[in-house]
Structure 1
Amino acid sequence: MGADSVAPQPQFQVLGPFEVRVHDEVLDLGGPRIRTLLALLTANAGRVTTVGTMVEALWGPESPPDAHRTVRSYVSRLRRALAVDQLIVTHPAGYVLRLEPHVVDARRFERLVETGRDALAAGRPADAAERLTLALRLWRGEAYGEFSVTPVLRAEAARLEGLRLGAVEDRVDADLATGAGVTLVEELTALTGQHPGRERLWGQLMTALYRAGRQAEALDAYLRARTALIERFGLEPSPRLSEIHQQVLDNDARLFGVPAAEPSEPARDDLPGDIADFAGRDAELATLATARAAGRHAVVIQAIDGMAGVGKTTLVVHAAHRFAEHYRDRLFIDLHGHASSHRPVTAMTALDSLLRALGVPPDRIPQDPDARAALWRAELATRSVLVVLDNAADAAQVRPLLPGTSRSLTLITSRRRLVDLDATQVVSLDVLPEADAVALFVSVAGDRTEGSVHEVVALCGHLPLAIRIAAARLRARPAWTVGYLAKRLRQAHSPLTEFEAGDRSVAAAFALSYEHLHAPQRRLFRLLGIHPGPDFDAYAAAALAAVDLPEAERLLEGLVDDHLLQEPAPGRYRFHDLVRQHAHAVAVTDEPEPLRHKALRRVVDYYLHTAHNGSRLLDRQHPPIAVEAADCVPHPMLDSAAAMAWFDANHRNVLAARTAAEDAGWDTVVWQLAWSLDNFHYRRGHLHDNIASWQVGLVAAERLGDLAVQARAHRRLGLVYAPLGRDEEALLHLRQSLALSGQVGDTLGQAGAHVVLALALTWKKDDHGVLAHLTEARNLYRRSGNTQWEVRVLSMMGAAYTRLGHHVRARALCESALALCLRHNDLYGQADTLDSLGAITGNTGDHRQALHHYERALALWRGLDNTYRQAGTLAALGDTHRELGEVDQAKQCWREAIELYRGQNLHHAADRIAQRSG
């Protein structure tokens, strides 16, 4: 490829064998699992595919222990193979494949089908047939090919197959509308044989046969259809198929396309005006359009839900105007499900208004609720009507208003998830993607959009209502700039007050949702507003509200259904930023300060107790601390893998809990949280977070006057500063730790200080000093009877001796240490010792044996999920492969080490390896 070439855009083909093409050449993606992974991302393009879903797709219920890491490795390989920046984007819950619709043949197919159906509905059958034929030509075989049997892709393949068959039926309708008959008989005969349950195909076959002058065969087709329906499905033919049968018997001219007469009464159009500055929502509009087009042959009910201010009514009104030409009557009613000045409209009142809108005289409208609903359905059966039911309170309110036949389209909006409503499709609106959010701001604000538009829409949380208000305020104030508006939003003491203009207010919209909650939900909502971290689970919510776990789960799910909480991953919850601000404001206003203080202490104690339990699972050698009993139930964890998973999910929350404890003056909790995070921070290489934790932990210990804890804090700070190259700071802290441990008679603390001093001197390449401190540490551990830590010291001594050239002595020490670690099942000690043995054998020229030791160590580090030590061992493996002349293997190990170090924000370590790999 030339230097000035533009990277080609991959084309994704799923309507047949799964392929990705570049310049019409099939891209080699690798093995079946990587191909399965990309097929799954493609089926879910534009949405988050969780790592758990990927693991299930690749391995099923029997996934290997390192499946999540393997998935991440596969994604890295896919990124390299696709060679397009930001095509696969990392998300906290998994990954998102960002594809433009035109690069996926399935999306092009759906768009062509939609335009074909629109043309057919608009009375342009020739155009419809052309579009639908083009759509069907995109198919090369079964959707997703060999992956169509993969459980997580089966539903998508079946959906596309259903759309294909529907498109075939639509194309036949288009051909029939242009007068075709005899040319369709052979095709329809085959199709009815393949799909005997599709009555529409039987009706089309009967019509085609009749037009071909084969009336008897048309009647015989009806008998075959009836037999198939009864024997296979236990069903009699539908009224429509029976009607075609009667038309064949009657030689009805309508079988040749003569239209029925339209109703003579005037049409009704109650839709509010369309939104002139509408922006975005292309995917949602496409979903609504696809369902509407299919609605010529099925009842279509679309429910659109979402949080306050997300633009539900705006979307529905815009969509209704786009679809209006396909319906004779267009009705709109506000059900006032969430309104401050109106009670929710009852179904009886809504039916009365809707029936009158269709011209039904008042004296014909029954007083019985069931009879009134039945009359409404009967009226819709004879009409083509688009009905918008805006702002529904719940499913019970709208259920009597739903049609019973296929000629109408019903669009419903609600702030609640109408999970118990039999809707054709439910669309849950999220906030706008950044590009659409910027487009909306620009369309409202006009030309004055220089500067920090991206920052403004981010401060608006990408919420359409907030964006509209902010843009309208900018447009109304000529002296303001976008930068000034961003500064106001950024520095506002109460940010929600900035999102008010006229009768529009984000806070007021949120307040209506809050007021419609029942009392326990309101209490949990406002208490969650003081939760210190970015997200939470049911255990944290239970601690915060002092309720049991089932009650917390029930309340959380209710808040999700009301779109006051988001659930980005199963069992994990978070606020939209503006909703969080509202929840906090409500907590300050409605929850007494002493109760807020108790709630915050409960949830901080929950994070402390769970983190401490998890830290003990990560390393039993880590000395325990005395954590006070708390009014909370810690998250249950069975093993170190569960502990790491909890820490990974809650790391930011525990750090936030530490900050909350610091602000509240809970000094004991501050240093105990630093201690409880220490093991996890070390395993993940979060050295900078560990420094921050122990710095505040040290200050807290000094306020408490606790010399033993001060010694511990100095020791841990020294351990973290040394590998960061901050040698003098490390040695200063370690000498203070040693002095304080001696002052309080802490033998183990003194030994630990000597061990960490040895590590610090290792970085300074002072191996004689290293051995001096390790010898002192070994003597102290022996005196205290701590055999396992003495064993780990032996391994470190072996590493120091080999660096000094005493390889025989070094190997003897490390082999003794390894034997003792195996006897005590000390996995950490085994891995550490194997690393030392790898260095020893490598220094003596036995690089194959070194490779063996490093590979065993790496397997143990991976089993322990210690990404920090994995990176170091991978770097040593790369060096060993290089010594053996295995350049490709060396580079692969170095690449993995660099990726791990950069993921831990340890760029200096990554840079050292990058220089090594050249």
Structure 2
Amino acid sequence: MDDPAGEAAEERARPEFRVLGPFEVLVHGRPLDLGGPRIRTLLALLIANAGRVTGVDTMADALWDVDATPGTPRTVRTYMSRVRRSLAPVAADLIETRAAGYVLRLEPALLDAREFERLAAAGRAALAADPVTASDLLTRALARWRGDAYEDFAGTVALLAETRRLQALRLGALEDRVDADLATGAGEALIGELTALTDRHPGHERLWGQLMTALYRAGRQADALDAFTRARTVLVDRFGLDPSPRLAGIHRRILDNDPALFPARPVAVRPAGAVRNDLPGDIADFAGRETELSRLLSAPGGVAHSAPTAVVIEAIDGMAGIGKTTLAIHAAHRLAGRYRDAQLFIDLHGHTCGQAPTTPAAALDTLLRALGVAADRIPREPDARAALWRAELAGRSILVVLDNAADAAQVRPLLPGSPGTLMLITSRRRLVGLEAAHILSLDVLPEATAIALFSGIVADDRAAAEADAVRDVVALCGHLPLAIRIAAARLRTRPAWTVAHLADRLRQAGRPLAELSAGDRSVAAAFALSYAHLDAAQQRMFRLLGLNPGPDIDVPAAAALAAVPAAEAERLLESLVDDHLLQQPVTGRFRFHDLVRQHAQATVQADEPEPARTAALRRLVAFHLHTGHRGSRLLDQQHPPIDVGEPPPGCVPAPLADDTAAMTWFDGNHQCVLAARQAAEDAGWDTWVWQLAWTLDNFHYRRGHLQPNITSWLAGLAAAERLGDVAVQARAHRRLGLVYGPFGMPAEALHHLNRSLALAGEIGDTLGQAGVHFVLALHWTNEKDDERALEHATSAQELYSALEDGKWEARAFSLIGACLSRLGRHEEARTHAEAGLARCRESNDVYGQADALDSLAAIAADTGRHDEALDRSRQALSLWRHLDNTYRQAATFAAMGDAHQSLGHADQAREAWQEAITLYRAGNLHPAADEVEKRAANWSRTPTGNV
């Protein structure tokens, strides 16, 4: 039997193919570099036709949209070899060559589209007998969607049929889920969702009937009747159809106040006496873990133990693939008989790449529904929802498996409040924050157990006949359970292989275990009618919006995309909103519904010539580059500017008056600029790739967006290397060195900084060398090596002095002061920092002033003058707030907390530290937040901290 843990995100070592949104292949939760757009297109075609032959002509049409030539098959074969190279780390042998083309052999569980179909079909099958389960299954199915199906390939004709089929299944699953919710008694809670759905899909009578029913149940009979009137008008005017007998029947029952519009019971649950059991299937080849299993089975509680007096929580942790989920499920099946009221299972997605962890509120909603609580009884407020969960558990005998938890905070609201419940929790993190939990940490399997697991899965005499080779295989698998299962399953499906052959394959470079999986895998509504009713200008704007790589767009960007004046762009956008082809979530910003975006992407590929598409996309990318460049210069004018040239004709950058306007623009368009950088990278516009990384840099630093900055500069570095531009390479290495340090990766930071220094020296870039020395001083400060920090800060100051760059020399003086203070040379430190502050004030360098004030605060703290330190920090904080630099505000708040602590101000210290923690967490700077949190916790446990 397949390993149930193989479906758990925390144990996936096999490749995951994801097409329900941006196309990607994940390995160990990380995206695999698939290469250029043509390689990605071929792989997408193979996935869409998995198990069937994809012909060479089909591939050629998708790549070039031209008739085949004598050289076409050879060119396709060349690209297919690149596809195989892209998949070489995980799954190259999944592709088989046939006379007519190629076949991809893919297990259904490895493709999100097939998992969606499986869950949707299961939910639909459960709808009549168990709507609570049906709603849960359908909700899980719909959660697989991250955007439109194959949304990166809107113009690929060969994918349109599969795309439309999946989109239609998505809408059908959504309608089924609403039916399931209605069957549990829901009404008012569905009105907002159904109103939006009927706006998007006015021709779907089923949605109109669901909306009318929900309105009627909410006590809004008149609104329900009005909904029927609107439905009839839309059906007649737009489609020339009368309402169906079914919809007319719902209308009559509303007029008659028919009680049949309410379910017979508040909740339609399973038959009386049945027990809810959500546990995934157990496995017959479970091996080892005797000690751990014995401990779990001896947990007190359930009907086998009398009068339980405590909540029982077992938290199982360990590395990915170690078998946490397998153990928890196996133990849960053994324990199920003790907990006769229910056995529940939920994946919290704490470590699922590309998917946010399930919020406690959402998890509680799922769990409450599983216990038969009607949707209308579930409160919206998280605290009230948690209280209801505890109340439902009280007095019951229930086993709950919380799989793949992110942290203690995610789990804590889900904990029971009274005895009788056993919770098994799995997580990659040790949940020490759960005070009541018993922690169970797993290690890799002993050799004998690993061999037994491998042999049990292979289930033939090959393992016994090649004992040494089996020992080699499990060693190559690192005795990791999931890796052993994949290797053994691969061997089991290849009767001609020997174990030694498998071991040899695993030894080969570039052939990791994730490739050892294989198998087979088994329309959306179009908007052509709405599109046909638009005038020519509206149609063109609609089409071109399909090129937008970002999540939404504003008026100036749309004007650049279409090369029209802003007023005309706004008129067109508003008219598309009126025609329900665009949404306006907030004033001035526009976005597509998911299905409409797909139609726009397909339409622009079909109806807009390629030169026009390229020109429009270039205008849009240039808009973000030029507007962002202006904004970045406003955020910090001390950084040397770059030459981005002139925008192309038709592209008018957005006007930004000051740094406040710049931050507002970046905050609203951050994801759009990131998407523009990715679009430039995909199109091969390398100069724009690194220039967009530069454009985003100041904003990323102010907001503490370290990971996006690393991603942008890595792309910028690669682009600079392709261009052969050494000066840009040096700059990219310097910025990467600056950002890797706070990200907690000092070795990477030092590597990039040393490389930057060497490259700047090669080309005689003195200003660049000064900048590297400045960042190296920050690096060694973070590494607590103040002698090295002082050396580099001094080098930076001397080079800036030689260049007569007074503003940066002033900042270097402040940095030298901070280094000297930590070395105990306090008077020298104060002299340098005060000189830096004075020079920054002379040049009106607000950033430099704030930096100098932070240094002076640190010097005052080091010399015991905590009142002065607090005053300096307050001045710095005021300037950081003026600059809207939340990253530096956090550090200043932390210093203020330290000063308050030294002065015995308990409440003020805690308040300042909490501000720092909040700001760090908002910027995903969790190591820094953890450090402040630890400092506050340690102090609160001391006698002084309790004053």
TM-score, structure 2 normalization: 0.48
Whose Rg is larger?
Answer: 1
- Larger relative contact order (CA 8 Å, sep ≥ 6): 2
